[in-house]
Chain A
């Protein structure tokens, strides 16, 4: 170094987490250097088994990103390749590198868009910056997973979570689960949308919706960004104002397929606390169901927060179904099966519905307009409800069992 010159202060950019309690994640630091070479240091819990492949993968990312001179250090707690790629990319971006396209090769199957009214009993929330919960989520067979970029992600980690969720959508097989993403509110949500939407999640969950314009701006952005793409949108109503505007929100855009209740927000707005019985939110939830059904949408209930209380969950789920909800959120995989049972029609209900449907079909065949079951006449709305129940049971895969 020439005397008198001032050395540039190296800025160290980092991404990912480290520490004894961290699993399946990697901490990456990137420090610009002037030596004209890449110094890559790897400290990995799985180093003796995957050290070589980590080195190859990371060097390839750095070369693709055009990094010429840097000190890159990894502290790895057994992160999978898509996680390593997301963390390296995040650290490079934070260090000011224009990274180009560092997306990992797609290994997850490409899904056909799901029908508007597919079964959505359970939707498992997965914190968007926590890789370990994502890896095996599909094995618990939720109807949907929600990769969450909003409340479960710290404000300073929105950029890293966005890349992790994008890579997860490209690389993880979520099986039969519908792959949803909860984006942030605008304008942050627009960056989320641009990162994840090309990976084809459906639907997009919009948080804290109070006005129809919040839905419209998301729908417009999707159309602008991905013309011709059919995307499902699920607004989450979390406030008293959102509930008051529920019907308008439901009809804000044809992309909307369901209204979702976010009770923590709405109880806070009412100034009351959430109870296991849910009396404080009964009005809001009924109003939401009514608005959703009036717009021919599904209605999805909030989550049940006490993972240990299986009985409480079961009873909440059964009451939610009785109010007209089609499903609810879950925060732990062990809630899924309980919810599926709670939202399943009972055997007696189903059997009666099947008899009504059979009587209706019989009447149709005979050209009779009045449907009767034994000595009782069955009204058309009852027939319609029975048909819907049978169709729903078929979708849930319950009917074969019952018919047996």
Chain B
């Protein structure tokens, strides 16, 4: 077989061996050539050994005047020794407005490089061009998140390797533990200096925090900072330290500011979602969680934003102040801070212009990172210090297990985000409609297990609130509340009667297309190819 034929012949899919993990899910023993540890239960797997580290470098190899500018992204990639089979990482703080991640992979393609592992902290619909690069063999597989079109491609078996889904904390853990060795990190930075010091809260493409890029900057062999706003040294504040950076590339634009921050983050107008938000706020109050010095986390979804507004009124009425809140920050959290209803915002990512302005100017609005917030292989993390966290889900089952990556038809469409990490809060609330279109959200068994039921405390739907029977304390605390607190199976039956019964089994094959990592790097479940 000649070289050309070898390249063009589709590689035979590797035969997988499976084991059944502690959650009774079948997971492969080897993923993309790496042996895996099956999920062993919450806290069931204890790591050993020492953290991974990048190679030791010397100042002698870098310009003494600190000017690390490279002529272009290609020149920087060449300088960092990009070649076949490497791992390239990018971050998603520019969200759907980012142009640098795709430009990096496109440049790699132009250089003739193949078989890359792309390791983004999240992917977005605007990055659908990567589908072509996967088909050409430039990208072998994605580890991080496969959202929207990339998820669908993965589900249909379009990726050469297995996708690996990790939480934000799991991504840090994987890098720190050496599960994923990053060869080249490309960090799009809204402001940077020629030394590589970089910040996200200033510049025409400001996005707020750059926390997701910190693991990459710390652990990658090579680090390239790409900016459209170069300032003379020092770039203050310095979220990324230039001491970790190999090259700085200046481009016209790192992204579309309109898509980086929406400018307006809208509260839902859906009456059912507003009802869910109101139920959650009343639950937090009635369960006694809303007390002086408490903390909560709520993201940027419509339900979360409305929840913050309802809770705010209740906090004012009760004269209660929070010690800290965690975002994704939005103007609604910023208002809480400015009105003195919380001492601090600890911000993982910044969702709107009000959030960006606040993090740039208010010392009580502090950027956090996946290390401080979420990393399970650390000496604790912020997520478990939080009193109550509001999360979404695609499915939850009658044993409170949650799914956040696939839909009931088996299609992979979402990343995990910080979802798994947040389950360790004092009270974890899943805010979900009881059905979407005709599809029930409360199911007998989740299509893909992402979070074990023992960590999910409350499911709030528009038809009522189900408290996990393990949480007798919450059941006791809300006894006598006017809230519609009901057994989860009762809500499930009511929905099934409305929608015409349980759904049929979707057609899934026995071919794995991706795996879901638990926060400790073990395999909690497998995503199967859709038939």
Asked if A5 is at the interface (CB within 8 A of a chain B CB), the reply is: no
Shortest CB distance A127–B (Å): 14
Do residues A135 and B274 form an inter-chain contact, with CB atoms below 8 A? no
Asked if A101 is at the interface (CB within 8 A of a chain B CB), the reply is: no
Shortest CB distance A29–B (Å): 20
Do residues B437 and A45 form an inter-chain contact, with CB atoms below 8 A? yes
Contacts of B409 in A (CB 8 A): 46, 48-49
Measured CB to CB, the nearest residue on chain A to B531 is A48
Contacts of B438 in A (CB 8 A): 24, 46, 49-50, 78-80
Residue interface bits B438-459, CB-to-A below 8 A is 1, else 0: 1100000000000000000000
Do residues A48 and B272 form an inter-chain contact, with CB atoms below 8 A? no
Do residues A48 and B271 form an inter-chain contact, with CB atoms below 8 A? no
Q: How far is the CA of A49 from the CA of B408 in the complex (A)?
A: 8
Contacts of A46 in B (CB 8 A): 409, 437-439, 503
Q: How far is the CA of A69 from the CA of B417 in the complex (A)?
A: 52
Q: How far is the CA of A333 from the CA of B275 in the complex (A)?
A: 9
Interface residues of A in 166-201 (CB under 8 A from B): 172-173
Interface residues of A in 331-370 (CB under 8 A from B): 332-334
Shortest CB distance B437–A (Å): 3
Do residues B500 and A80 form an inter-chain contact, with CB atoms below 8 A? yes
Interface residues of B in 400-449 (CB under 8 A from A): 408-410, 436-439
Contacts of A50 in B (CB 8 A): 438-439, 500, 503-504
Q: A49-B506, A136-B272, A140-B271 are in contact. Are A80 and B462 (CB under 8 A)?
A: no
**Total contacting residues, chain A, CB less than 8 A:** 26
B437, B463, B503, B504 interface centre (most CB from chain A within 10 Å): B437
Do residues A139 and B462 form an inter-chain contact, with CB atoms below 8 A? yes
Contacts of A334 in B (CB 8 A): 271, 274
Do residues A81 and B504 form an inter-chain contact, with CB atoms below 8 A? no
Contacts of A107 in B (CB 8 A): 497
Q: How far is the CA of A215 from the CA of B463 in the complex (A)?
A: 38
Shortest CB distance B326–A (Å): 28
Asked if A23 is at the interface (CB within 8 A of a chain B CB), the reply is: yes
Contacts of A53 in B (CB 8 A): 500-501, 504
Which of B408, B410, B498, B507 is within 8 Å of A80, CB to CB? B498
Do residues B439 and A49 form an inter-chain contact, with CB atoms below 8 A? yes
Measured CB to CB, the nearest residue on chain A to B410 is A48
Contacts of B506 in A (CB 8 A): 48-49
Asked if A41 is at the interface (CB within 8 A of a chain B CB), the reply is: no
Contacts of B272 in A (CB 8 A): 136, 139
Do residues B498 and A333 form an inter-chain contact, with CB atoms below 8 A? no
Shortest CB distance B303–A (Å): 14
Shortest CB distance A197–B (Å): 24
Asked if A52 is at the interface (CB within 8 A of a chain B CB), the reply is: yes
Contacts of B19 in A (CB 8 A): none
Interface residues of A in 48-84 (CB under 8 A from B): 48-53, 57, 77-81
Contacts of A79 in B (CB 8 A): 438
Contacts of A173 in B (CB 8 A): 498
Q: A49-B409, A50-B438, A51-B504 are in contact. Are A80 and B275 (CB under 8 A)?
A: no
Do residues B437 and A139 form an inter-chain contact, with CB atoms below 8 A? no
Q: A48-B507, A49-B408, A140-B275 are in contact. Are A77 and B437 (CB under 8 A)?
A: yes
Shortest CB distance A61–B (Å): 14
Measured CB to CB, the nearest residue on chain B to A307 is B269
Q: How far is the CA of A53 from the CA of B410 in the complex (A)?
A: 19
Shortest CB distance A76–B (Å): 8
Do residues B271 and A333 form an inter-chain contact, with CB atoms below 8 A? yes
Do residues A23 and B504 form an inter-chain contact, with CB atoms below 8 A? no
Residue interface bits A100-125, CB-to-B below 8 A is 1, else 0: 00000001000000000000000000
Query: Tally of A-B residue pairs with Cβ under 8 A?
Result: 62
Q: How far is the CA of A119 from the CA of B501 in the complex (A)?
A: 35
Contacts of B504 in A (CB 8 A): 48-53
Do residues A135 and B463 form an inter-chain contact, with CB atoms below 8 A? no
Residue interface bits B495-524, CB-to-A below 8 A is 1, else 0: 001111101101100000000000000000
Which of A78, A136, A140 is within 8 Å of B439, CB to CB? A78
Do residues A24 and B271 form an inter-chain contact, with CB atoms below 8 A? no
Q: How far is the CA of A324 from the CA of B409 in the complex (A)?
A: 54
Shortest CB distance A135–B (Å): 7
Q: How far is the CA of A48 from the CA of B406 in the complex (A)?
A: 14
Do residues B437 and A23 form an inter-chain contact, with CB atoms below 8 A? yes
Shortest CB distance A87–B (Å): 14
Do residues B408 and A136 form an inter-chain contact, with CB atoms below 8 A? no
Q: How far is the CA of A107 from the CA of B499 in the complex (A)?
A: 12
Measured CB to CB, the nearest residue on chain B to A76 is B438
Measured CB to CB, the nearest residue on chain B to A171 is B498
Contacts of B463 in A (CB 8 A): 139
Shortest CB distance A266–B (Å): 29
Q: A46-B439, A48-B507 are in contact. Are A81 and B271 (CB under 8 A)?
A: no
Which of A23, A45, A49, A135 is within 8 Å of B503, CB to CB? A49
Contacts of A140 in B (CB 8 A): 271, 275
Do residues B462 and A136 form an inter-chain contact, with CB atoms below 8 A? yes
Contacts of A49 in B (CB 8 A): 408-409, 438-439, 503-504, 506
Contacts of B410 in A (CB 8 A): 48
Residue interface bits A22-50, CB-to-B below 8 A is 1, else 0: 01100000000000000000000110111
Shortest CB distance A175–B (Å): 11
A24, A48, A50, A136 interface centre (most CB from chain B within 10 Å): A48
Q: How far is the CA of A139 from the CA of B276 in the complex (A)?
A: 11
Measured CB to CB, the nearest residue on chain B to A23 is B437
Measured CB to CB, the nearest residue on chain B to A83 is B438
Do residues A139 and B408 form an inter-chain contact, with CB atoms below 8 A? no
Contacts of A24 in B (CB 8 A): 437-438
Q: How far is the CA of A50 from the CA of B497 in the complex (A)?
A: 14
Contacts of B275 in A (CB 8 A): 139-140, 333
Measured CB to CB, the nearest residue on chain B to A46 is B438
Q: How far is the CA of A341 from the CA of B25 in the complex (A)?
A: 51
Residue interface bits B259-302, CB-to-A below 8 A is 1, else 0: 00000000000011011000000000000000000000000000
Contacts of A51 in B (CB 8 A): 504
Contacts of B274 in A (CB 8 A): 334
Contacts of B408 in A (CB 8 A): 49
Q: A49-B409, A49-B503 are in contact. Are A78 and B271 (CB under 8 A)?
A: no
Residue interface bits A120-163, CB-to-B below 8 A is 1, else 0: 00000000000000011001100000000000000000000000
Contacts of A333 in B (CB 8 A): 271, 275
Q: How far is the CA of A77 from the CA of B498 in the complex (A)?
A: 16
B408, B438, B439, B500 interface centre (most CB from chain A within 10 Å): B438
Interface residues of B in 459-512 (CB under 8 A from A): 462-463, 497-501, 503-504, 506-507
Residue interface bits B175-199, CB-to-A below 8 A is 1, else 0: 0000000000000000000000000
Q: How far is the CA of A136 from the CA of B461 in the complex (A)?
A: 12
Q: How far is the CA of A371 from the CA of B13 in the complex (A)?
A: 93
Q: How far is the CA of A136 from the CA of B462 in the complex (A)?
A: 8
Shortest CB distance B310–A (Å): 12
Shortest CB distance B410–A (Å): 8
In the assembled complex, 9 residue pairs joining A and B whose CB atoms fall closer than 8 Å, in A order, are A49-B438, A50-B438, A50-B504, A78-B436, A78-B439, A81-B500, A136-B272, A139-B462, A140-B275
Residues on A close to B: CB < 8 A? Answer: 23-24, 45-46, 48-53, 57, 77-81, 107, 135-136, 139-140, 172-173, 332-334
> Lowest 6 CB-CB distances: which A-B pairs, in order?
A78-B437, A49-B503, A333-B271, A81-B500, A78-B438, A48-B409
Q: Apart from A49-B408, A50-B500, what 9 extra A-B contacts exist at CB < 8 Å?
A: A24-B437, A45-B437, A46-B438, A49-B503, A51-B504, A53-B500, A77-B437, A78-B436, A81-B500
